[in-house]
Amino acid sequence: MIQKHVVLRALFGLYVVAGFAFVLTGTVQVVSAALPQSADQELELDVDIIKNRWQWDPDHITVGEGTLVRLNITNDDDYDHGFAVSEFGVDQRLPANSTTTVEFVASRAGDFTFFCSVYCGAGHFGQRGTLTVLSDDSDRVAYEDGITAESDLPIRSHKDSVERLGYTIAEDGVKEFELSADHIMWDYGDGHVIESWGYNGQLPGPEIRVTEGDTVRISFTNKLPVATTVHWHGIDLVNPMDGVPGYTQDPIEPGETFVYEFVAYPAGTRFYHTHGSHHGDEAQQMDMGLAGAFVVEPRDYQAPDVEKTWVLTERIRDGIFPINGAVYPETDPIRVVEGDRVRVRMINAGSATFHPMHLHGHQFKVISVDGNPVPEAAQLTRNTLPILPGETYDVEFIADNPGLWLFHCHELNHAAGGMISAVIYDDYIGGH
């Protein structure tokens, strides 16, 4: 997506922007990072770290293949940061309140993630950007055409979502699913319509629900402009089905289909998510929306009166923290009747932040951690539960206190960013 607010201070060189050549000698407003007219040139840019927000400015840089890239990175923050591009062997410490020059050659074409390498490469709270390396002029034109076609993308929202993914049963008894990764505009609510990537055109992807011991066959088609993979988080798989590029499979290129087949085991709340196209871009792809719930029911499963699955995600640059692809007040409440046994499956499918989820007016028991049941004698009674990235928790409570009660993230800037829902009793009559 073109970042129209980006200001680049190009220090020298001949550039092509929207088909016109300019010699740039000062500060200039452009719609994306400037492009060298041909490969094997030099590109020098000033890059800033936005203080207290841990973001790059610009966060999308486009160059030609073979370009010597020289970035003068100013860190005005009071924390050390890092700049890394794994594919080009770049990993430079950026001391607080200083400017550091980083040089490397963009030696091959593709989309690559640059990120803060502090905290073992995890990145400071989603501090990532994209380096696009174009191979020739035709690629450059195709790229410009693609990213300016944002208005042609379908706009969808959680109101269009399918709760669970349907399946067919093959002659051999295997449950067969069709899954795709799609490029869309997603309406999170409250005025946030954002370019996103979603499974089957929705955020989160539709829940896949099967029974323990089922053999599942999932035909996955990549409809994104970049390569990707799918990882089945928390499921005991045979190694070739694990969905990790460079380890268990080649990345699935745009337009390609890959078939995952495995036995669903063990029972519990699991999820599926991208593992990117290479080491370093999986977090960016997840934050674009590529995650969904995968619930494996035990064969003797006894459903509660009310059950809800929440996929907790984040769009840090946009300041929002959705529940099931929506931000408050568009989030769906949990509707109960007094006396109901209520189970909530919570999945933190974000890449960087934890969520202390807090329920008002009730106490819940933690009955499952990462899909694994907690023995009754060890079940903690809580009203607030911190959930780290990649963790899943199942909690249960009895609806024994009629009213309208908030259920929200107690990292309150996340709540302000929309991570709020509610428990509403059917007979509740209130003034709000």
Q: Is residue 248 a contact partner of residue 240, using CB atoms and an 8 Å limit? A: yes
Q: Is residue 292 a contact partner of residue 270, using CB atoms and an 8 Å limit? A: no
pTM to 2 decimal places = 0.71
Query: CB-based burial of residue 205 (10 Å sphere; 0-12 exposed, 13-18 middle, 19+ buried)?
Result: buried
At the topology level, CATH places domain 155-297 in Immunoglobulin-like (2.60.40)
Strands (E), 144-290: 155-157, 168-169, 175-189, 192-199, 205-211, 215-222, 230-233, 257-263, 268-274
What is the rounded CA–CA span in Å between residue 38 and residue 236? Answer: 48
Question: 219-233 burial, b if ≥16 CB within 10 A, otherwise e?
Answer: ebbbbbebbbbbbbb
Instruction: Collect all residues with Cβ–Cβ distance below 8 Å to 61 and sequence separation of at least 6.
Output: 33, 45, 47, 69, 114, 129, 130, 131, 132
Q: Which CATH class is domain 7-150?
A: mainly beta
Give the sign of the dihedral formed by CA 132, CA 138, CA 143, CA 148.
positive
Q: Is residue 109 a contact partner of residue 139, using CB atoms and an 8 Å limit? A: yes
What is the rounded CA–CA span in Å between residue 131 and residue 143? Answer: 13
What is the rounded CA–CA span in Å between residue 351 and residue 180? Answer: 21
Q: Domain boundaries in the chain?
A: 7-150, 155-297, 306-425
Closest-CA residue to 287 (of 317, 309, 245, 308): 317
Beta strands 392-398; 341-348: pairing state: antiparallel
Intrachain domains 7-150 and 306-425 with the same fold: yes
pLDDT at 40: 60
Instruction: Collect all residues with Cβ–Cβ distance below 8 Å to 160 and sequence separation of at least 6.
Output: 201, 202
Superfamily of domain 306-425: Cupredoxins -  blue copper proteins (2.60.40.420)
Quick one: tokens of 222? 């990549």
The pLDDT tens digits along the chain (432 residues) read: 333 333 222 332 333 333 323 333 332 222 233 344 444 678 888 888 766 556 778 888 888 888 899 999 998 877 788 888 877 878 888 888 899 999 999 888 887 878 787 643 344 545 778 888 887 644 443 333 444 344 578 899 988 898 899 999 999 999 999 999 999 999 999 889 999 999 999 999 999 999 999 999 999 999 999 999 999 999 999 999 999 999 999 999 999 999 999 999 999 999 999 998 887 788 889 989 999 999 999 999 999 999 999 999 999 878 899 999 999 999 999 999 999 999 999 999 998 899 999 999 999 999 999 999 999 999 999 999 999 999 999 999 999 999 999 999 999 999 999 999 999 999 876 655
Beta strands 420-425; 334-336: pairing state: parallel
Closest-CA residue to 180 (of 197, 200, 160): 200
